[in-house]
Structure formats: C-alpha cells, structure tokens
Amino acid sequence: MSTDPVAISKILPEGTAGFVDHIGIAVRDMDESIALYRDLLGLELELLEEVPSENIQVAFLKLDRGGALGHVELLAPLSNEGNIAAFIEKKGPGLHHIAFAAENIETVLERCREAGMRLLDEKPRTGARGKQIAFLHPKSGGGVLIEICRDPED
C-alpha cells in the first residue's frame, strides 16, 4: 500500500506543509550549474558548502519574488563515491528530490510508518544548512524521492 503519491498530502500534517521548501537537482559540474541558475535564471546564491558525510558539494539558490519563496538545491558529487555520484552514474544529472517543509518531522515519519511507507531515514538527521531532514523511499513516493525538512521559520 501507500505507493500513491497523493497519499503524501494526507500524511503531512495539516497546516505544516504549505510549501515546497526546495527542489534538489543532481549536477555534474557545480560551477556550470550555478552559472545557469544564478547568472542566467537570476536566482540568488545563498549558500555553497561541502557535506563530507554525503561526499557532496551543495548549493542553495533562492527564488524570492513578490513574497514567493523557494529554493533550488544543487548537489554535486565530490568524487565517484556516494549516493549522488551513484545517481548520476545511473540516471544522469537531473531532478533528484523534492523537499516539503514540516513543523515536526518525527510526526510526519510516524504517520508514514503507520501508513506502511518505506523510510530511508528512521529519524531526522542534520543535512545541508544545518537543517533537520529525513527522506522517504522513492518506492513509497510514486517514483519520487521525497525529503521532509524542518520549516526554516522555526
């Protein structure tokens, strides 16, 4: 059960997931990708950091126009090791995950668990920007890797 991606809208607690926090994109070349999103598309580069535990470099670019706020997260492997390198090897660069903001990740994970969904993270962990994050398995997300992250407003 629970391979229906629509189910996620019922699982995320009401009122806590009003927006997509960011869209994660796996890239081969960080400089080229920043040139695309910042220099051509006009997003603001907010953060560029290495996440050694994941063997990746991460860039967060902010979309901020008329009060609508969102981010694009670029994920570039630092070597041939790790999940992002494996993803690019298998599928090529491109859309990697979609992240929903939630007030309480534990609550979301508990609801997903009760619904029989597969979790990649049993507990929230610290990701880029020092934010608490957890991933659901793409098999339970209709083929989409779904990240739940803590609302930056908190």
Footprint of Zn ion on this chain (CB under 5 A)?
Answer: 24, 73, 99, 147
Distances, alpha carbon 99 to alpha carbons 31, 81, 147, in Å: 23, 23, 4
Give phi and psi for 142, each to the nearest 5: 60, 30
11 vs 25, which CB is nearer to Zn ion? Answer: 25
Report the SS3 class of residue 112: helix
The CA distance from 75 to 77, in Å, is: 7
11 vs 146, which CB is nearer to Zn ion? Answer: 146
Residue showing the smallest CB distance to Zn ion in the complex: 24
Smallest distance, Å, CB 79 to Zn ion? 20
Smallest distance, Å, CB 97 to Zn ion? 6
91 vs 116, which CB is nearer to Zn ion? Answer: 91
Smallest distance, Å, CB 1 to Zn ion? 26
Q: Count the residues in the chain.
A: 154
114 vs 154, which CB is nearer to Zn ion? Answer: 154
Smallest distance, Å, CB 72 to Zn ion? 10
CB 73 within 8 A of CB 58: yes
C-alpha closest to that of 128 among 78, 54, 64? 54
